[in-house]
Amino acid sequence: MFKINPLLIVALIVTGSIAIWGIVDTENLAQWAAETIEVQFSSRAWFIMLTVSGLLIVSLFLAISKYGEIKLGADDDQPEFSTVSWLSMLFAAGMGVGLLYWGTAEPLTHYLAVSEVEDSRRAADAALFITNFHWGMHAWAIYALTGLVIAYFGFRLDCPNLVSAPLIRVYGKSTVTMVAGWLFDLMAIVAIAIGVGGSIAMGVFQIKGGIDVLMDVDSSGTSMSIAIFLVLCVAYTPPLLMDLSRGMAILSNTAMAIACGLMVFVLIAGPTQFIMGGIIGAIGEYVSQVVVHGFRTYTFMDERTANWFHEWTLTYMVWWLAWAPFVGVFIARISKGRTIREFLFGVIVVPTVFSIFWFGVFGSIGFYAALRTNLPILELVQKDASRVMFFVLEQFPASRLTISAVVAAAFLFLITSVVSAAFVLGMFSSSGSLNPSRAVKLGWGVILGALGLVMILSDSIAAIKSIIALGALPFVFVVTILVICLLRALAVDEAAAIDRSKP
Amino acid sequence: MSDVTDTMLNLWVFAFVALVIWLILKPAAGLKKTNTSSDNPQKHQ
């Protein structure tokens, strides 16, 4: 008999209502989200930065401590995937389309802001560092600890794959833990749905930028975006109805391969010495400043700097939190049999090194265009960030091929994100079942599409960021409690390990 | 934003920090010493 899950109903009502509000009055939703998030950011910035830095410190502590030897699974479980394949999959899941969108645009955007107060050459270093900070260890520590909690409780303690499971397992079944756990699951669902909806819109804007360049048109308004969105909906529906987990891995690895190919192409075909210099400089900046920057709140700066901090650093951190339950579940699923140390170094350090190379290549090529040639790339950044990557590629040979490759990679990243997110949402809203029904997955596919459409209609990256930040903010509290549950459980696990080793 | 709103929002955060400290100190009712080797018959119950 078909069993109705109250969590599924409430989650569908909450996310569906946001989608309907957004479709009926996009401007009103965007404005309300922007005002509300500004109030939250203005008064709680310190707490958000403290939380993300705390998560990184806890991750590093677990990785180097004796707890690092504990396995995610039974003591004799072996990893399911090779290390290279594992790293490739987790990176594609965590960053995806954002890398393509922001590769050149983000360092240049920060450069414009910083160069108003600093010397332009110093501003380029600072801009590259800030970008790497946003995409680096702090971001991955959020994913890593969320994934670690889900993997540890799921594989080692055999709990259901739910955000609420650690709380109920550690503190026992009581009215308080059941109600709090139910709210945790609901908050995770809302954060995922809105976060992935935002990524759909960003990806659609990126694809639109590419098609405009390829067809040599300048399609203003949202009609082209909506057309691309409809094609995307048609493309992601069949995988929702079939079990295509292996196919999804292939699509995701193909998108990653295209992205890596582009990076190598730009490095070799572009000003290699300039780019390598940028990468090495960025590594030094990152290592020397990352800890201090993690605690920076810009409290004593002027209002403009504070606004920039809210719009970028805080929004990014909350954006990673929005994706954390979704990416965490995915990373957990592919990490069974690894030790906590292996898991944390793999999830935090390796993707951060890749990000530094990625932004080193695409950021440096952007600075080369801005500082060494007279190309109007800085004007383009201000006008339309989604076209910056294509503008860069147009300066290289075989630009039609490389631009088509970016469009294809963005499309593949989007399909894999939506299908995986619909699966995770289906799982969360079906009591942690690893096989959510097709109807539930399709329902979530529709909701994700509707939320994506809302963000597309807003036609503004700033509005998208505000809506995502608002949807994900409650998850700051949830992640903190999950980490407490993990530490409590690990303490007992370690005690058990010592007991077993006694003769 | 008024100072009152600011204070109220931060009081919520301080209340949360207090909750976290309480959760760290509270006995973990659901946890027993864990034996997780794959031959443990209790693991799959």
Per-residue model confidence as pLDDT tens digits over A152-189: 998 888 888 888 999 999 988 888 889 999 998 888 88
CA distance A46 to chain B (A): 10
Which of the residues in chain A have pLDDT under 70? 1-4, 219, 243-246, 494-503
CB neighbour burial string for A22-40, b if at least 16 within 10 angstroms, e if fewer = beeebeebbeebbeebbeb
Percent of chain A whose predicted confidence (pLDDT) is above 90: 27
Interface of A with B in 37-76 (CB under 8 A): 38-40, 42-44, 47, 71, 74-76
Q: Which residues of A touch B38 (CB under 8 A)?
A: 74-77
CA distance B23 to chain A (A): 7
φ, ψ dihedrals at A339, nearest 5°: -80, 165
pLDDT score, position A78: 86
Q: Which two tokens stand for residue A303?
A: 């209002």
SS3 A161: coil
CA distance A11 to chain B (A): 24
Which of B26, B34, B44 shows the shortest C-beta gap to A496? Answer: B34
Q: Looking at the complex, does the CB of residue A495 fall below 8 Å from at least one CB of chain B? A: yes
d(CA A471, CA A481): 18
Which of A42, A158, A487 shows the shortest C-beta gap to B43? Answer: A158
Q: Looking at the complex, does the CB of residue B5 fall below 8 Å from at least one CB of chain A? A: yes
**Side-chain-side CA neighbours of residue A93 (13 Å):** 30
In angstroms, the Cα distances linking A77 to A243, A386, A466, B37 are 25, 44, 42, 9
pLDDT score, position A288: 94
Contacts by residues A457-460 (CB-CB < 8 Å, ≥ 24 positions apart): A457/A22, A457/A23, A457/A26, A457/A222, A458/A22, A458/A26, A458/A27, A458/A29, A458/A30, A458/A201, A459/A221, A459/A222, A459/A225, A460/A30
Compare all CA atoms of chain A with the CA of B12 and give the residue at the minimum distance.
A44
Residue type, A160: P
d(CA A493, CA B31): 9
Q: Which residues of B touch A493 (CB under 8 A)?
A: 34, 36
Which stretches of A311-435 are DSSP H helices? 315-333, 340-344, 350-367, 377-383, 388-394, 399-428
**Residue B45: band (very low, low, confident or very high) from pLDDT cuts 50, 70, 90:** very low
In angstroms, the Cα distances linking A471 to A37, A116, A203, A327 are 10, 33, 19, 16
Compare all CA atoms of chain A with the CA of B35 and give the residue at the minimum distance.
A496
For residue B3, the surrounding DSSP H or E stretch is: helix B3-25
Q: Which residues contact A222 (CB under 8 A, 6 or more apart)?
A: A456, A457, A459
φ, ψ dihedrals at A29, nearest 5°: -65, -45
Complex ipTM > 0.85: no
